[in-house]
């Protein structure tokens, strides 16, 4: 009997992890199944481009995993039972149940509404392909002078506002920030950001919390009414409650609490990677929900799974941020270096060079997903013990 590895989610964390596991473990010993709700690999970092009308090609997961031995199950996860080691799913072929020996939970995150009235009913977001396409359709119907309000001054909000303003200069684009725009950036990078917003004609409402969203406006905490034919909500991310409902130990955020190797602290057969993992970085703080964290955590989880199954010493991979890379449309960007405490250093890179670098990062990530077996070893590693169903594998 083969050791059954089930990977939930095929985003930046899950797709990379599944490819690495297939690349490094012998198919004579393991069976890898990836469960994903949609048939394409969705590059979340490009969804604001999709929403504004740019044509993007999404890779079919069936093509990505072709020839790797990875089994793809197109279905939505509806529950996890870590005591029985089962995952409940539902898809076009109906419901079902998958059994695992090792589970890698990488279901990612969705937009966080924060309980603000009207967000669920009237706001749009760019956290998923379907929601970005819904926004794309709405924006396509806006004529000259149409108003768009982006709520949230994080990376997603900044990239969305600048992309929209550059691609559709006939629209009136505004951004609502709870604090100061780019407050975490160095002085020079913050000035670069403000100049970009001025150049693109984006109105900034600083120190403005939004307390309600209506069909044609947003209501600020101070009672002001901000016109918005379209409100784009980018005020943070939230994880699905499946993990908390399963009995896995989770943090207040609903993320799965993991140790340094991305292993669940309550259920050793479960690992988590990406936004759904509550992992502590090298600075002693929880890793933020981001593509970079997906990279860090999936590499650590993959390395730990392989080491434990093959009886090797478990390595530790880096969990340290080096900088934030922010697109400001297609021809401008900011790359801000940070220190060990994720505080901005005085040096930053901006302009076309930074935009070129960001484009290279995105292309590199996409290429890596499309070539999961690149660098495949001639001899894959075998499991340290014969797979069984006793619940005991190799020594941790």
pLDDT of residue 390: 40
Please give the model's pTM, rounded to 2 decimal places.
0.91
The torsion of the CA quartet 162, 164, 168, 169, rounded to 10 degrees, works out to -30
Write the DSSP assignment of 250-287 as a string of letters.
Answer: B-TTSPEEB-TTSBBSS-TTEEE-GGGEE-B-TTSSBP
Range of the domain at 178: 114-233
Give the pLDDT score at 389. Answer: 47
Q: How far, in Å, are 276, 291, 300, 304, 385 from residue 273 at the CA level?
A: 6, 11, 8, 12, 26
Tell me the pairing of strands 210-214 and 203-205: unpaired
Does some domain include residue 169? Answer: yes
Domain boundary among 289, 304, 320: 320
Q: For residue 124, what are its two tokens?
A: 């749009």
For residue 386, name the pLDDT band (cuts at 50, 70, 90): low
Same domain, 143 and 286: no
Answer with the one of 305, 320, 335 that is the final residue of a domain: 320
* Model pLDDT, residue 320: 83
Please state the domain count of the chain: 2
Q: Is the dihedral of CA 106, 111, 115, 118 positive or negative?
A: negative
Same domain, 105 and 243: yes
pLDDT, tens digit, 9 for 90 and up, residues 197-237: 999 999 999 999 999 999 999 999 999 999 999 999 999 99
Q: Which pairing describes strands 256-257 and 277-278: parallel, antiparallel, or unpaired?
A: parallel
Give the residue from 110, 81, 87 showing the smallest Cα distance to 33.
Answer: 87
In a domain, 382, yes or no: no
Are the C-beta atoms of residues 274 and 287 closer than 8 Å to each other? Answer: no
What token pair was written down for 322?
């080096």
For residue 392, what pLDDT band results from cuts at 50, 70 and 90? very low
């Amino acid at each position: 009997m083969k050791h059954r590895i089930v990977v939930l989610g095929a985003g930046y964390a899950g797709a990379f992890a599944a490819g690495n596991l297939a690349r490094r473990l012998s198919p004579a010993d393991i069976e890898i199944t990836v469960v994903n709700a949609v048939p394409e690999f969705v590059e979340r970092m490009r969804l604001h481009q999709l929403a504004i009308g740019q044509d993007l090609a999404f890779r079919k997961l069936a093509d990505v995993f072709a020839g790797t031995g990875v089994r793809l199950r197109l279905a939505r996860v509806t529950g996890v039972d870590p005591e029985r080691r089962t995952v409940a799913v539902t898809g076009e072929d109906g419901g079902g149940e998958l059994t695992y020996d090792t589970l890698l939970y990488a279901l990612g995150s969705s937009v966080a509404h924060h309980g603000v009235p009207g967000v669920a009913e009237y706001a749009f977001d760019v956290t998923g392909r379907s929601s970005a396409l819904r926004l794309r359709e709405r924006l396509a119907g806006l004529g000259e002078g149409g108003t768009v309000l982006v709520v949230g001054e994080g990376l997603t909000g900044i990239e969305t506002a600048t992309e929209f303003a550059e691609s559709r200069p006939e629209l009136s684009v505004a951004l609502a920030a709870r604090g100061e725009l780019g407050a975490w950036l160095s002085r020079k990078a913050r000035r670069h950001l403000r100049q970009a917003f001025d150049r693109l004609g984006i109105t900034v409402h600083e120190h403005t919390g939004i307390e309600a969203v209506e069909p044609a406006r947003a209501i600020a905490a101070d009672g002001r009414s901000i016109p918005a034919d379209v409100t784009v909500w980018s005020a943070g991310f939230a994880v699905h409650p499946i993990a908390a409902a399963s009995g896995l130990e989770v943090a207040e955020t609903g993320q799965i609490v993991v140790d340094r190797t991305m292993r669940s602290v309550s259920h050793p057969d479960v690992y988590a990677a990406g936004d759904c993992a509550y992992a502590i970085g090298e600075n002693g703080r929880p890793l933020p929900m981001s593509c970079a964290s997906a990279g860090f955590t999936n590499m650590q989880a993959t390395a730990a799974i392989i080491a434990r199954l093959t009886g090797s010493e478990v390595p530790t991979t880096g969990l340290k941020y080096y900088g934030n890379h922010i697109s400001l449309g297609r021809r401008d960007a900011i790359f801000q270096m940070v220190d060990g405490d994720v505080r901005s250093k005085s040096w930053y890179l901006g302009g076309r060079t930074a935009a070129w670098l960001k484009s290279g990062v995105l292309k590199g990530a996409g290429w890596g997903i499309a070539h999961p077996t690149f660098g495949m070893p001639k001899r894959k590693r075998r499991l340290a013990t014969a797979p069984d169903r006793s619940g005991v594998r190799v020594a941790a």
